[in-house]
Amino acid sequence: MQNRTNEDMKKIKEILENNTALEHAITLLSWDLETEAPALAAEKISKTLGYLTGESYSMIINDEFKKLVYGINTEELSEIDRKIIEEVKKESFEKMEKIPKDEFQKYSELRVLSVRKWEEAKRKNDYSIFKDYLKQMIEFNKKFIKYRGYTGNPYNTLLDDYEPEAAVEELDKFFDKIKNELSPFIKKVTEKEKSENELAVIEKFKNMNFDIQKQEEFSKYLLDIIKFSFEKGVLKESEHPFTTEFSNKDVRITTHYYENNLLSSIYSTIHEGGHALYEQHIGDEVADTVLGGGVSMGIHESQSRIYENMFGRSIEFIEFIYPKMDEMFNLSEKGIGKKELYKLANEVERQFIRTESDELTYPIHILIRYELEKEIFGNLDEETDVDALAVKWADKYEEYLGIRPSTYTEGILQDVHWAEGLFGYFPSYALGTAYAAQIYDAINKKVNIKEEMKKGEFNQINEILKENIHKYGKMKTPKEIIKDMTGEDFDSRYYIDYLKEKFSEIYGLDK
């Protein structure tokens, strides 16, 4: 029997390897579309991607392969091979198989065109260019939920794609804590009057221009500090920063540069660098299998957010990078010292753009998107009015942050996620940041993080994260990773306490 099991597993792995080659081509085309391809190439590329996606679907979703997967004796397999079978059953036969191939292909083609229309609409501040594509993306996802089925709220099916084991019932409690604990604190912080000197520094910094070529050079310097391997990765520019992984030896990231906003590229680069380190550190034994890649977007975002915010926005790290920044951008000549830079990097301001928002108000941006998505997908038979959706977006910003976007670009068009059909992704940002606070506490018990940041030293920190999170890929569940690393189940209290402590100190407030 063992010989039969070995033969069957060998066949399964061969088919999966062939499919990985197809997926590699799909990902490469998608990367090219976002970084190099001319705008008018989108339609042709969308058709190519649709065809390749269909071929990938057929390679996996067929009776012969399914028989192999469900017929193998898992008791005779190694731990890794058992996990591979579990992953294939879940992703291929419990999810993908339930969606008809022709619809899957059409959706893949639509995604490409949807992103192109979103880019144009955002650039021109013209929602009419994109809204019909958004409606189609929503309707496709509602159909997919019906095909796949759901437990409890229909939205749970989409949430599970990004954070297994997360559900509306659990996330409602999490976001209620965010609302109840942080909203009053945000009010106290934003009502605290800034001194004339602080206002002058902010105004001066906002009116400074920073050479794009120097920003590119500085971004590479930052990635070197956190030990991103350029032998296993590259840095490019795109409209919306992102990370794409082909394997643990080919991880590509993008950032975006603005002449009048140096901090944007700095923290986008560190954020994507955190994602990339996760992928570069995945163990070789699982990297080229279906277990390669991060276990969930919540855990993935915990890595990007811990590097971006908890390490990158700390006073110690800012003091370490300041001499290089000053050398390249002449900050001291313009009255921006280390302390001023620290306050600028942590300035709390109620603003429209999620990716430019501060740590404290950031979860409110996610709460808004979560509530909108929950409403969209809570009733699958109700047609979504995309014009009303844009108004609801503005209404929620007014309700939660006291500001109302006056343009579509600073409102519903600001994020690429809905254009790509990534409904259910947004909660992972808030959940991941909350994971990060608990993970930070666990690391700090093993190594003095502040002392490491003063030296710009990441070797020990990276090793701890690699050994406890990165190397496992999808071998563990998110809950197992948090419990094994921190010794506790997930507790959002670490996140809320971290934010209150940090910003009380910066703004001279009682917690």
Nearest to 278 by CA among 318, 258, 257, 307: 307
- DSSP, collapsed to helix, strand or coil, labels residue 253 as strand
| 204 C-beta neighbours (distance < 10 Å), count | 14
Q: What is the dihedral of CA 31, 35, 37, 39, to 10 degrees?
A: 120
What's the CA dihedral at 41, 46, 49, 54 to 10 degrees? -160
CA distances from 506 to 15, 286, 372, 500 (A): 55, 43, 32, 10
Exposure letters 56-72 (e unless 16+ CB within 10 A, then b): bbebbbeeebbebbeeb
Q: Are 318 and 504 in contact (CB under 8 A)?
A: no
The answer to whether the beta carbons of residues 182 and 404 sit under 8 Å apart is no
Where does residue 181 rank: exposed (0-12), middle (13-18), buried (19+ CB within 10 A)? middle
Written as six digits, the tokens of 360 are 């404290």
Which of 34, 109, 272, 373 is the catalytic position? Answer: 272
480 is catalytic: no
Rounded to whole angstroms, the Cα distance separating 201 from 75 reads: 65
Please, what is the Cα angle at 12 between 8 and 14, to 5 degrees? 115
Cα separation, 9 vs 69, whole angstroms: 8
Angle between the 168-177 and 362-378 helix axes, to the nearest 10 degrees?
Answer: 150
Alpha-carbon span 414 to 403, nearest angstrom: 15
> 136-172 burial by CB neighbour count: b if 16+ within 10 A, else e?
bbbebbbebbeebebeebbbbbbbbbbbbebbbebbe
Q: Three-class SS string for 473-499? A: CCCCCHHHHHHHHHCCCCCCHHHHHHH
What is the DSSP-derived secondary structure letter of residue 99? S
Active site residues: 272
